[in-house]
Amino acid sequence: MTRTDPTADDFAYDELAYLEENASEAGLPWTGPPQVERVTVAVAGTRRVSALRWGTGPPELVLVHGMAQNAHTWDTVALALARPLLAVDLPGHGHSDWRPDRADDPHHLADDLAAALDALGVGATVIVGMSLGGLVTNALAARRPDLVRRLVAVDITPEPSESAARDIHDFIAGPQSFPSFAEILERTVQYNPTRSVASLRRGIVHNAVRQDDGSWQWRYDRGERDPDRPRPDRAGLWADVAAIAVPYLLVRGGAPGSVVTDAGVAELLGRRPATEVVTVEGAGHSIQGDRPVELAAVIEQFGFG
């Protein structure tokens, strides 16, 4: 065992130590560690938003993860794209601070994302958002069109499958703490049948923290929300979509677990007839984890082809 093995007694978290494993599993060439650095900026005063900056040039893409995920969910996609990009930790996720008001709706998060991109000097790019991140990027494109050149929504519309979304909610709402890595991995595998065990191990290492007693706790914010705060309704989320003026691509999973419904696609096409829709076979909801190389190819073609 090595110090990067989460079951090792001397485990030490090194967030960039797993990239060669990502590349190997995906069949991508490995010529040495890519240029990746963690950057952090202040928004709304002193609250911090963190991100991974890939490459040395101005970012050509911004990648936004889903609920209870973090920037590392895009690692294999970023390796496959091999372009300068920014993978953001949304507030309450990864290495970003939690919002004191626990506002986790797309509009509040879009405002934070815009502030972070402004602070980092990121101009109009291809914006890719998965699940919650897709709703956030919709809101960003509607509110700050100057930041969005093209938009890719990964397995999300404002009208998701209630049964598939319930399964995701049940996983996220499960236990906060697990006595061992084996137990947190077992539950994660149970809820993610389309993913390899190796990729789920890496995901947990990036999304959970080992405590001094050897137990593991999820890293993302699971705090109580204000019950009186109104939640975004579907009409408002669809209004964001209707306000977007840039080319728009929906990438949906073709396997069980996808939350995109045919009705949602029909509604999207009714509001935006020019929308492109691509299905990635063999992928459930988290296409970036199930079929990352295929997703990268779709993004490359849409964003730069």
Question: Which positions are annotated as active-site residues?
Answer: 131, 155, 285
List the structure tokens of 150. 């093209």
CA 41 from centroid of its chain's CA atoms:
19
Question: Strands across the sheet with 208-210, in order?
Answer: 177-178, 216-218, 208-210
Measured CA to CA, the distance from residue 203 to residue 5 in angstroms comes to: 13
Identify the residue whose tokens are 């895009």: 74
User: Which secondary-structure segment (H or E) carries 160?
Assistant: none
**What stretches of 94-180 show up as alpha helix (H) in DSSP?**
106-120, 132-143, 162-172
**What stretches of 30-86 show up as alpha helix (H) in DSSP?**
75-81
Write the DSSP string, 183-246.
Answer: HHHHHHHHH-TTS-HHHHHHHHHHHEEE-TTS-EEE-S--PPP-TTSPPPPHHHHHHHHHH--S
Would you call 31 helix, strand, or coil by DSSP?
coil
CA atoms 116, 295, 155, 174: torsion sign: negative
What DSSP designation does 86 have?
A: E
List the structure tokens of 58. 């101005």
Task: Using alpha carbons, list the distances in angstroms from residue 27 to 12, 76, 205, 230, 289.
Answer: 27, 10, 21, 45, 14
